[in-house]
């Protein structure tokens, strides 16, 4: 299984945003929608061996954890607007005290970053950053859990949680790429390796 976690530093935690302007009115949920596209879609099909995770840290009700499971995902189309509609449903259908499957394959719940990392502690964590070890020098495991920032990198407290769980810092080079492009690259890189 491949896991991708993208932090949504300002992603809105209420559904009261304009679906036609997720960049302006939803705390850059457009970035998350593009990352979902890069995580799952191949031509005419979906990757069933991918799980995508994000935590929305924007107002007014953070944190909301959204998990998307490739092998259960139904009805979602690859375009950014359609993915955003499903993210909006996940936020609107979130409930405080239980995990809700808001649409097939998409789950919303209240979890902190530490909760998520603890839940997946059996995975091998890779923190993506320009200053890590070059990916070609890393033997990426079958059960990889990649962690990426959005417009902003993770903060020191989150990095410390990852260090406690033995995360390796991995770089794709010195250039700072868009998060969705990093995910696309990682998928192709791993496809070619296996
Ligand atoms: C747009 S970058 C974040 C901001 C960027 N670090 C900066 O200071 O401008 C989004 C995320 O993509 C990942 N990323 C971008 N370029 C990368 C690279 N060359 N190697 C590894 N990860 C990268 C990191 O996880 C980063 O947090």
Q: In testing the pocket of ligand 1, which one of 10, 128, 136 has its CB within 8 Å of the most ligand atoms? A: 128
Residues contacting 140, CB < 8 A, separation 6+:
124, 126, 170, 190, 193
Q: In testing the pocket of ligand 1, which one of 133, 136, 168, 176 has its CB within 8 Å of the most ligand atoms? A: 176
pLDDT digits (tens, 9 = 90+) for 50-99: 999 999 999 999 999 999 999 999 999 999 999 999 999 999 999 999 99
Q: In testing the pocket of ligand 1, which one of 9, 30, 130 has its CB within 8 Å of the most ligand atoms? A: 130
- Judged by phi (left if over 0) then psi (alpha if -120 to 50, else beta), residue 168 lies in beta
Nearest Cα to 148, choosing from 2, 11, 6? Answer: 6
Say whether the peptide bond before residue 60 is cis (omega within 30 degrees of 0). yes
CA-CA-CA-CA dihedral for 21, 152, 48, 170, to nearest 10: 160
H helices, E strands: number in the chain = 6, 10
Question: Ligand 1, closest atom to CA 7?
Answer: 27
Query: First vs last Cα of the chain: how many Å apart?
Result: 12
CA of residue 154 to ligand 1 center, whole Å? 10
String of b and e for 52-74 (b: at least 16 CB within 10 Å)? bbbbbbbeeebbbbbbbbbeebe
**What is the rounded average pLDDT of the residues 27-52?**
97
The beta-strand segments (E) located in 57-143 are 64-69, 100-103, 106-109, 124-134
CA of residue 178 to ligand 1 center, whole Å? 7
Indicate if the pLDDT at residue 194 is higher than 80.
no
Question: How is residue 7 written in tokens?
Answer: 């932090």
Atom 9, ligand 1: residue with shortest CA distance:
176
Q: Which domains does the chain have, with CATH numbers?
A: 1-194 (3.40.1280.10)
Half-sphere exposure at residue 161, Cβ-oriented, CA atoms within 13 angstroms: 15
Atom 5, ligand 1: residue with shortest CA distance:
176
What pLDDT, on the 0 to 100 scale, is given for residue 150?
98
Q: Which residues line ligand 1 (CB under 6 A)?
A: 128-130, 148-149, 151, 153, 171-173, 175-179, 182
What pLDDT, on the 0 to 100 scale, is given for residue 30?
98
Atom 27, ligand 1: residue with shortest CA distance:
149
Atom 26, ligand 1: residue with shortest CA distance:
149
Tell me the average pLDDT of the chain.
97
């Amino acid at each position: 299984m491949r896991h991708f976690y993208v932090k949504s530093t300002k992603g809105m935690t209420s559904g009261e945003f304009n679906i036609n302007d997720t960049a302006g009115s939803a705390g850059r949920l457009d970035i998350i929608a593009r990352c979902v596209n890069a995580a799952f879609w191949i031509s005419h099909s979906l990757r069933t061996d991918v799980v995508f995770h994000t935590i929305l840290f924007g107002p007014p009700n953070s944190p909301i954890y959204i998990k998307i499971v490739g092998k259960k995902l139904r009805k979602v189309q690859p375009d950014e607007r359609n993915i955003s509609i499903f993210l909006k449903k996940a936020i609107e259908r979130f409930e405080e005290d239980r995990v809700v499957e808001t649409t097939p394959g998409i789950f919303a719940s209240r979890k902190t970053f530490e909760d998520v990392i603890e839940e997946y502690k059996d995975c091998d964590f890779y923190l993506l950053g320009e200053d890590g070890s070059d990916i070609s020098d890393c033997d990426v495991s079958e059960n990889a859990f990649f962690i990426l920032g959005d417009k902003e990198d993770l903060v020191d407290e989150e990095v410390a949680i990852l260090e406690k769980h033995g995360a390796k810092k991995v770089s794709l080079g010195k250039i700072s790429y868009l998060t969705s492009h990093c995910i696309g690259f990682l998928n192709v890189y791993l496809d070619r390796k296996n």
